[in-house]
């Protein structure tokens, strides 16, 4: 009876730890609505693509990236699309500046880009995990400067997340220790 109860508790503990590890926040998870200053609103999804509306200018910036999971030691290609927020059509003759910071530290260098057809790209590789902030500023459409900045926050994760493995190891060690204490065999 005691062994059966112990096994049920052990299995329940393992499933709980696995569920906790898989439900934990991963890259790109954010609230659905985020206010950034007086004239900008970010509307985001839990993953790529994310959109940012510059409300005073009717410009929407859409950020997407490949691969979907931003991992350390693996290049990530970011694509910026500049859209008319009312029609969804790409804007033309766009120039902009991109700044990236990982946990508040600048990543690489600032990048000035142009998007003649409303689409720009940039590739970046990250050496460590953390909270990535991407800021697009100095946005111009033709000769018209756009007020505000588009800001995105994404998490960079290790290539192989160790948290689930560590949790499973602790649970397994706890089960072995408990079985020795209660003098039962697995």
Give the pLDDT score at 77: 92
108 and 74 share one domain? yes
Say whether both 31 and 8 belong to one domain.
Answer: no
User: Does residue 60 sit in the same domain as residue 140?
Assistant: yes
pLDDT at position 17: 52
- Dist CA 60 CA 54 (whole Å): 6
Question: According to the model, what pLDDT value does residue 29 have?
Answer: 36
Give the CATH number, domain containing residue 42.
2.60.40.1930
| Structural domains in the chain (count) | 2
Same domain? For 42 and 52 the reply is yes
Residue 156: Cβ-neighbour burial (10 angstroms; 0-12, 13-18, 19+): buried
Written as tens digits, the pLDDT of the chain (186 aa) is 556 655 666 665 565 555 554 444 433 333 333 333 333 333 333 477 889 998 788 899 999 999 888 888 889 899 999 999 999 999 999 999 999 999 888 887 678 999 999 999 999 888 888 888 899 999 999 999 888 888 888 887 775 555 566 676 677 677 777 777 777 655
pLDDT confidence of residue 3: 60
Task: Tally the residues of the chain.
Answer: 186
**Which domain does 113 fall in, by range?**
27-160
Whether residue 85 sits in one domain with residue 121: yes
**Both 109 and 144 in a single domain?**
yes
83, 85, 115: which is closest to 98 by C-alpha? 115
The sheet carrying 50-54 orders its strands as 33-35, 40-43, 50-54, 59-66, 76-84, 119-124
Q: Mark whether 13 and 59 lie in a shared domain.
A: no
Residues 155 and 165 in one domain: no
Kindly state whether residues 52 and 133 are assigned to the same domain.
Answer: yes
pTM: 0.61
Same domain assignment for residues 146 and 168: no
Q: Do 83 and 59 form a contact (C-beta atoms < 8 A)?
A: yes
Asked whether residue 101 falls in the same domain as residue 135, the answer is yes
User: Residue 157's pLDDT is what?
Assistant: 76
- Do 77 and 15 lie in one domain? The reply is no
């Amino acid at each position: 009876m005691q062994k059966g109860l112990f096994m049920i508790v052990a299995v329940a503990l393992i499933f709980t730890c696995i569920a906790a590890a898989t439900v934990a926040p991963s890259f790109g998870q954010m609230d659905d609505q985020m206010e950034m200053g007086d004239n900008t609103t970010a509307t985001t999804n839990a993953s790529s693509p994310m959109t940012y509306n510059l409300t005073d200018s009717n410009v929407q910036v859409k950020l997407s990236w490949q691969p979907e999971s931003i991992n350390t030691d693996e290049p990530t290609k970011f694509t910026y699309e500049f859209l008319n927020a009312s029609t969804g059509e790409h804007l033309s003759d766009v120039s902009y500046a991109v700044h990236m910071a990982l946990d508040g530290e600048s990543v690489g260098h600032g990048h000035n880009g142009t998007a003649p057809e409303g689409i720009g790209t940039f590739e970046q590789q990250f050496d460590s995990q953390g909270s990535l902030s991407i800021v697009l500023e100095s946005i111009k459409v033709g000769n018209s400067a756009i007020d505000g900045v588009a800001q995105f926050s994404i998490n960079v994760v290790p290539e192989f997340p160790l948290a689930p493995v560590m949790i499973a190891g602790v649970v397994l060690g706890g089960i072995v220790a408990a079985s020795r204490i209660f003098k039962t065999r697995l």
